[in-house]
Chain A
Amino acid sequence: MNDVDQEVRDLLREKANDIPPNLDLPRSLTTRVRRRIALNALAVTVTVVVVAAGAFGTIRAFRSQPSETEGTPACTSADVRAVVSLQGAAGSREGTIELTNTSATCSLKGTPTLNLLDEDLHPIVSGITFVSVPAGWEVGGSPQPAGWPVVSLARDDSASVRVRWSNWCAGGNSTPHWRIAIPGSGDVDVEGIDAVAIPPCNGSDLPSTIEVGPFEPHLG
């Protein structure tokens, strides 16, 4: 067993001795090492600059948040009225929730959350999947509205939220109540949901899906 071990050891040492123990530094290698050091330093500098720029941009974005809405307070649930309008579309119901400002000028920003409630007004907490989707202007290839993602609403102005609802199998044919949560404030009952024909049940083992977009200026 050890015969080959020893032979291999001897062979490796013998072959290694073909190489002289000390080798002189090739002249070109100095240049290559220096170039490498310079490239490494450049890479480090670029990384630091990119990270710093990213951090600065993020901080600036956070700081600028109030200034974009400066002078325009955020809308509260007491300021807005929400009405949904959905039409049938390929096995689902698609449309918008219109939020109309009934008070002084205020602004909305971000993507709202929806809550569905049963006929006893208990939240339906299972069997529904909410999915965030892009704003209508992005999907339609329109230019970004001025001030977006902040939507400033004068009195009687409206903001829109894209909604697509599919696969409703729960609760027979009854339509659940909808409530929309205004960021930083409370919920607002969504009117008009009773008039919406519920989407067909495509599979009771699958969740109902509701796609929700961000606030955006009224989609005419």
Chain B
Amino acid sequence: MVSAKVTRVAPAESTKLDELYQRHAGAAVRLAYLLLQDRTIAEDIVQDAFVRVAGRLVHLRDPGAFDAYLRRTVVNLSHSYVRRKVLERAFLRREMATAERDTARWPTSSFEDRELLWRALGRLPERQRAAIVLRFYEDLPEAQVAELLRCSPGTVKSRVSRGLEALRHEMRGEPR
């Protein structure tokens, strides 16, 4: 989770950059990976986010909140990435068809169960997935998730609830 604090650094110094990256990049890539379910894209997104936030570090009102800025940028860039994917709908339709076939053979092991859940999570609408990841992985309160996703806490609550409901249906092999 993105939680470590940093002191004010001179971003032009590569050693400081190195330190900053080592301290925050892993957690940020994990978050992006859970949001996008693709490690390579997650790493690219985090590098872009890091460039943006580190490039602005001297102007940040609170350099100690680097992790919060980085998290926000990762969430925003992930959202932009998903929106850019013009083939996403077609991809999702194909995946749904695969899932329907998959439900015919109910998993027999916990590993298969997990993979099904992972894929079902990936099929959730992007905002529902983001709300679930930020609530259950980052353990952020609803108000903070709402701020990150630019919506109300009530919307976060309903997105999480609907997302979980959808996952529950998928795991039971029921149509949504």
Contact = CB atoms under 8 A, between A and B. Distances in A.
A15 B51 contact: no
B17 A21 contact: no
Interface residues of B, number: 38
Interface string A1-44: 00011011101111110111111111001101110110110000
What interface size band does chain A fall in? 20 to 34
A40 B114 contact: no
A9 B14 CA distance: 36
A37 B26 CA distance: 23
Contacts of B117: 7-8, 11
Interface string B78-103: 00000000000000000000000000
A33 B50 contact: yes
Contact of B33 (A15, A21, A34, A39): A15
Nearest to B27: A21
A29 B47 contact: yes
A128 B145 CA distance: 54
B22 A16 contact: no
Main SS at interface, chain B: helix
Q: Name the residue in B12, B39, B47, B55 with the highest tally of chain A Cβ atoms < 10 Å from its Cβ.
A: B55
A131 B78 CA distance: 50
B15 to A, nearest CB: 10
B164 A5 contact: yes
B106 interface: no
Given A30-B18, A36-B56, A39-B55, 6 more contacts: A7-B117, A9-B136, A12-B34, A19-B30, A29-B21, A37-B58
Q: Name the residue in B14, B39, B133 with the highest tally of chain A Cβ atoms < 10 Å from its Cβ.
A: B14
B14 to A, nearest CB: 5
Contacts of B132: 8
B27 A36 contact: no
Nearest to A38: B55
A19 B39 contact: yes
A9 B25 CA distance: 21
Given A23-B22, A23-B29, A37-B58, A29 B136 contact: no
Contacts of B164: 4-5, 8
